[in-house]
Chains A and B, each alone.
Chain A
């Protein structure tokens, strides 16, 4: 077992983990952060996307021990009290989901994209969420959600 200390959604979490524990499994089973989901075994789907030290990462493709000393943000750390993050609001307003399974990852990827590029073109949005698969929506409303989120967050395009 390995001792780790990770700041998750603003709280310092100390834990003993087996080295083979995937970060996503520790978040879900160790901390109960079940908002972050697993959709594949091949690092393709992006459903498990979180932020590690401010950058989007597939949490199934990193070991929990590797997050030692890092700052992690999950979908459950985005809202402040009852106030949703603008990206969450935008996905609701634009119907950017159907079954919702891909949504936690889509939202986190959008937060990551807009932090680097507050004004993405449609092409940049599609490239920016390339690592997230959605089986339901055909992406149309997801792209609209990202555009609306950019607007809510002060972008102009």
Chain B
């Protein structure tokens, strides 16, 4: 279908984008890579009056090393994230999860900021941001603010980004030397996760010293499996990892849909967490 009529603006700075949002009022919509928004417009599930295209804002592009963290511009594409040496060296889990997003065409256009702001519960990257304690820089009429991942994801498709705000960048602390693996269960024809488990572990003398676990599609937003993280400390065998992973579904609230009921999703969370941790720890 052809989208309903809208006005189009293409700001070249973040300030211009914020001003355009203010001028556009309630019906204005930010366009990132468009890989979620374009289908919405085509199916006329959304009919914004103004579309504000942020794809040519230089400040929102690229990946930089701030010393202690890796800063990823909201407009950086999935393809750029997966190929970045900075991401692969210091935030390997993000590269692993992003590699599995959709397909080549969509990874060429879809962006870090769009994936986070869209906050699909089946999204592969939000649980990584949550588990790795990323923080989000958001610009609005009142200036800029920084929101931790623990407060960023609010509900189904809802984040801390207000209707008059633009997500500018996402900052990941460095996890240099940590083992990382993303384990996702999906149908062949669709890359969307039925359930996914992201794991990053710091090994010390053959045992897990610290662990970070995020779950995809196990609730209205990304889920952090804190009980598993705590139980994994000191684990040095597959049996110990399996025992810790038994707690993966605790505190989750997955939906039932045509692909899986609640019980099956809980089962997948345990199995995928076990596999992801075992691989991240180099034991499988």
Contact = CB atoms under 8 A, between A and B. Distances in A.
A62 B34 contact: yes
Given A57-B109, A130-B103, A62 B38 contact: yes
Given A41-B43, A61-B38, A131 B3 contact: no
B7 to A, nearest CB: 7
Contact of A20 (B4, B79, B105, B106): B4
Contact of A131 (B7, B39, B41, B105): B105
B108 interface: yes
B34 A19 contact: no
A112 B4 CA distance: 32
Contacts of B51: 19, 63
A46 B105 contact: yes
A55 interface: yes
Contact of B105 (A2, A49, A66): A49
Contacts of B38: 22, 43, 60-63
Contacts of B42: 22, 41-42, 60
Contacts of A113: 104
B284 interface: no
A61 B103 contact: no
Instruction: Report whether over half of chain A's contact residues are helix, strand or loop; otherwise say mixed.
Output: mixed
A41 B51 CA distance: 19
B34 A18 contact: no
B106 A58 contact: yes
A133 interface: yes
A110 to B, nearest CB: 11
Nearest to A113: B104
A22 B103 contact: no
Contacts of A58: 105-106, 109
A27 to B, nearest CB: 14
A113 B1 CA distance: 29
Nearest to A108: B105
Contacts of A112: 104-105
Nearest to A133: B189
A65 B55 CA distance: 12
Interface in B76-109: 79, 102-106, 108-109
Interface residues of A, number: 31
Interface in B9-49: 10, 34-35, 38-39, 41-43
Contacts of B106: 43, 58, 61, 131
A128 interface: yes
Given A19-B6, A25-B2, A66 B108 contact: no
B133 interface: no
B104 A41 contact: no
A56 interface: yes
Contact of A57 (B4, B5, B105, B191): B105
A66 B32 CA distance: 11
Contacts of A57: 105, 108-109
Given A43-B39, A60-B42, A61-B34, A109 B7 contact: no
- Which residue, of B41, B43, B105, B190, has the highest number of chain A Cβ atoms within 10 A? B105
A56 B108 contact: yes
B34 A42 contact: no
Which 9 pairs across A and B sit closest by C-beta, in order of nearness? A131-B103, A19-B8, A130-B103, A61-B38, A20-B3, A55-B108, A131-B105, A56-B105, A58-B105
Given A21-B2, A57-B108, A57-B109, 5 more contacts: A41-B42, A41-B43, A63-B51, A65-B8, A65-B53
23 contacts: A20-B2, A20-B5, A20-B41, A22-B2, A22-B3, A22-B38, A42-B42, A42-B43, A43-B35, A44-B190, A55-B79, A55-B108, A56-B105, A60-B42, A61-B34, A61-B105, A63-B38, A63-B53, A66-B55, A112-B104, A130-B191, A131-B103, A131-B106
